[in-house]
Structure 1
Amino acid sequence: MIRLEAIELSLGSQERKVNVLRGLDLAVAAGETIAVEGPSGSGKTSMLMVIAGLERPTGGRVRVDDVELGPLNEDALARFRRDRVGIVFQGFHLIATMTALENVAVPLELAGRADAFVRAREELTAVGLGRRLSHYPGELSGGEQQRVALARAFACEPRLLLADEPSGNLDPDTGHAVMDLMFAEVARRGTTLLLITHDPALALRCGRRLRLVEGRLIDGPALGSMTHG
């Protein structure tokens, strides 16, 4: 599902260049759940952005779901994300002037789905928001907003879900409930998950844990089988 080979990422000017990723390698099989941990500023979000095609690496090769990202232009990358990748951010990134239903329908409409609003309603119902369809983000709690973001991420049935600190803006109880929902949906759909987190308890729920150290990934133990059932 994901293959990163010798990924380099440098940011800033030549005089003040910062090497964020240094020869990073990663292989993720379809259906895996991967947690990536590491201190703030270690490049975790940058790595996620590279995988999503939102950041072009300085060097190396990126292949996601059998698609080589390097040769794609911006329009092709946008179509790639629309059709194959769901993304959940810490800050929700909902459109304030659209209802929950409209927020989830947007990627479906962009994909040309005639049933965009039917599917959006189904996805919101699946995350427990069937009675909040007409509410705007400002009328929803943080947990409800993140549920809308999850519904939107799953709406186009992506094979890969990228989640960047998805419970970071939520209180512990709400965050736990939303993460229960996310993992349940990932398992039900067989979606590959790459999760960026500072929460060791959340990382333990994934089948494999990685740590980003000095721009390179270090494998941790495969703990998924120890934390389920």
Structure 2
Amino acid sequence: MSDSVLRLKDVTLSLEGNAGPVEILHGIDLEVTQGETIGLVGPSGSGKSSLLMVMGGLERATGGEVRALGHDLTAMDEDALARFRRGHMGVVFQSFHLIPTMTALENVATPLELAGHADAFDRARAELEAVGLGKRADHYPAQLSGGEQQRVALARASAPRPEILLADEPTGNLDGTTGQAIMDLLFDLRDRHKATLVLVTHSRALADLCDRVVRLTDGRVADTQIKAAAE
């Protein structure tokens, strides 16, 4: 049986709103096993992105337990969470979050430098080559198209060779053709690094590529669909 990579037990999330606390997640129980690809789907406001952020320790659960690779994220402070993500997780957002004053190469290399990798720039260049941007390494984000910027973000997330890849609407800001290319690259990166992938998507085509689809409604797991094994 595959090892558990992510395990959430009775997870709740409450955020402070203008009119008081807003309950976002309600008693989420979910386990993701090594090498699995999970698609989180559901209507806008159902809690998909919030759940992904809780999985990555980017949002702290109000209650319950979140474990990643056997570590209790709910027990870590912000510095410990940042170190854990740096060593074990890659995160891709719908908005690319590139540093505008850095080249594509520098954007990818910076997290590796912070992690103490002596070969940070060599690895960064290799990842840019892998996403088809080797010749654009010295360009700044403003000189790149949206699809190219998302490729840089993918390279940055995968360069540390994380065990866990988290992606929040990675094709949401892109046209259909570019989005398809990003989908292909995302799954290629998963395969190359043998990573476990959890993604939030409104795209039926992207969800269909996942091993399991978890549908959220009003901050709760409504149902789970496991893709039948190919015959």
1:84 pairs, out of 85, 88, 95, with 88
Q: Does 1:111 align with 2:122?
A: no
Map Cα deviations across residues 162-212 of structure 1 (whole Å, 9 max, x no partner): 000000000000000111111112122211000100111110000000101
1:3 pairs, out of 3, 7, 12, with 7
Partner amino acid, structure 2, of 1:72:
M
1:25 pairs, out of 24, 29, 34, with 29
Contact 1:25–1:216, Cα closer than 8 Å, also in 2:
no
Partner amino acid, structure 2, of 1:210:
V
Which residue matches 2:160? 156
In the aligned structure 1, how far is the partner of 2:143 from the partner of 2:229?
A: 39
**Residue segments in structure 2 that go unaligned for 5+ positions in a row:** none
Partner amino acid, structure 2, of 1:81:
R
Contact 1:104–1:151, Cα closer than 8 Å, also in 2:
yes
2:124 pairs, out of 120, 126, 129, with 120
Contact 2:162–2:193, Cα closer than 8 Å, also in 1:
no
Runs of 4+ in structure 1 off by over 6 angstroms are none
TM-score (normalizing by structure 1): 0.95
In the aligned structure 2, how far is the partner of 1:33 from the partner of 1:218?
A: 18
Which residue matches 1:130? 134
Q: 1:225 to 1:183 in 2, by over 3 A?
A: farther
Which residue matches 1:45? 49
In the aligned structure 2, how far is the partner of 1:124 from the partner of 1:28?
A: 29
In the aligned structure 2, how far is the partner of 1:47 from the partner of 1:221?
A: 18
In the aligned structure 2, how far is the partner of 1:143 from the partner of 1:21?
A: 32
Question: 1:223, CA displacement in angstroms?
Answer: 1.8
**Residue segments in structure 1 that go unaligned for 5+ positions in a row:** none
The structure richer in strand per residue is 2
Partner amino acid, structure 2, of 1:33:
T
Partner amino acid, structure 2, of 1:11:
L
Q: 1:198-213, aligned counterparts within 5 Å?
A: 198-213=202-217
In the aligned structure 1, how far is the partner of 2:229 from the partner of 2:95?
A: 31
Which residue matches 1:95? 99
Question: 1:14, CA displacement in angstroms?
Answer: 9.6
Map Cα deviations across residues 103-158 of structure 1 (whole Å, 9 max, x no partner): 00011000011110010001100111110110000001111100000000001110
Contact 2:86–2:115, Cα closer than 8 Å, also in 1:
yes
Q: 1:158-177, aligned counterparts within 5 Å?
A: 158-177=162-181
Contact 1:205–1:224, Cα closer than 8 Å, also in 2:
no
Which residue matches 1:12? 16
Map Cα deviations across residues 32-63 of structure 1 (whole Å, 9 max, x no partner): 00000011111111111111111111100010
In the aligned structure 2, how far is the partner of 1:85 from the partner of 1:224?
A: 28
Identity of matched residues, % = 59
Which residue matches 1:192? 196
Q: Does 1:141 align with 2:125?
A: no
In the aligned structure 2, how far is the partner of 1:51 from the partner of 1:64?
A: 8
The total of aligned residue pairs comes to 227
Partner amino acid, structure 2, of 1:149:
A
Map Cα deviations across residues 86-116 of structure 1 (whole Å, 9 max, x no partner): 0000001100000000000011000011110
CA root-mean-square deviation:
1.4
